Amino acid sequence: MALKEDLESQVKQILMEQWTVESTKGVPDPEQLRLSNHAKDLETATVLYADLDGSTNMVDSYQWSFSAEIYKGYLRCAARIIAEEGGVVTAYDGDRVMAVFTGTTKNTSAVRAAMKINYAVEEIIRPAIAKQYPNTNFELKHVIGIDSSQLRAARIGVRGYNDLVWIGRAANYAAKLTNLSDKPLWITKTVYDSMNKDVKLSGDGREMWEKRYWTAMSNMEIYCSTWLYGV
């Protein structure tokens, strides 16, 4: 069968086939989902996107090996912290990582992970870069976005590829929040209202988050921060 006819047949099947949806409490493995229209419903889950800011300029201006070291250092720190906070890394996409948090403290855990990643950037990665490359003027910057909503997972449906596609507001909004680069940490009101005081107020009672309005999303209420949480 020619490629065009094969693709037409597959798209037609996807659009006509009924969905089978099963509830789940945690992040599913790809093998738990069939290649047909089969989805796992996490009900409510929290999505974190951590993204290197300015990476295009970095790869254009520095040696490839330097850029690779920055990618590896940042993504490794982010992944370790996410796992420590109970999140599951679901995808790496070049200079960013996506993670999903579930459970009763998913919003607090995701926000604490973000603040710990911010700590790693300021207190671990930047000093290490300055020590190894004392003559560079490069400064690592990053942005993290977090949202929470109903979330479903499905397989992309190509044999040999196990990536999941995530369907739900949280996956889209968390990714879009990383476009707001004037602060490193961004969360939606849904996350802010649900997280514990441990990540909302400092030890001396100061508010750690500043309310903003997301003009690109109909002035949706969001919150930003520069605070750190030690690792």
- Asked, for residue 231, whether it belongs to a domain, the answer is no
List residues bridging with 146 in a β-sheet: 48, 187
- Asked, for residue 74, whether it belongs to a domain, the answer is yes
pTM beyond 0.85: yes
Tell me if 13 sits within 8 A of 137, measured CB to CB: no
- Asked, for residue 10, whether it belongs to a domain, the answer is no
- Asked, for residue 195, whether it belongs to a domain, the answer is yes
Total structural domains within the chain: 1
pLDDT per residue as tens digits for the range 102-147: 999 999 999 999 999 999 999 999 999 999 999 988 989 999 999 9
pLDDT per residue as tens digits for the range 155-174: 886 665 668 899 999 999 99
Q: 68 vs 59, which has greater pLDDT? A: 68
- Asked, for residue 13, whether it belongs to a domain, the answer is no
- Asked, for residue 145, whether it belongs to a domain, the answer is yes
- C-alpha to C-alpha distance for 135 and 141, rounded to whole angstroms: 18
Task: Give the per-residue pLDDT at 45.
Answer: 97
Task: Give the per-residue pLDDT at 1.
Answer: 62
- Asked, for residue 216, whether it belongs to a domain, the answer is yes
- List CB contacts of 135: < 8 A, sequence separation 6 or more: none
Is pLDDT at 62 greater than 90 in this prediction? no
Q: What is the mean pLDDT of residues 72-92?
A: 96
Task: Give the per-residue pLDDT at 125.
Answer: 97
Q: What is the CATH number for 157?
A: 3.30.70.1230
- Asked, for residue 9, whether it belongs to a domain, the answer is no
- List CB contacts of 105: < 8 A, sequence separation 6 or more: 86, 196
Q: What is the mean pLDDT of residues 35-44?
A: 92
Query: Which tokens belong to 111?
Result: 């926000």
Beta strands in the chain (DSSP E): 20-23, 38-53, 88-93, 96-101, 141-155, 164-167, 185-188, 210-214, 220-225
Q: What is the mean pLDDT of residues 27-35?
A: 89
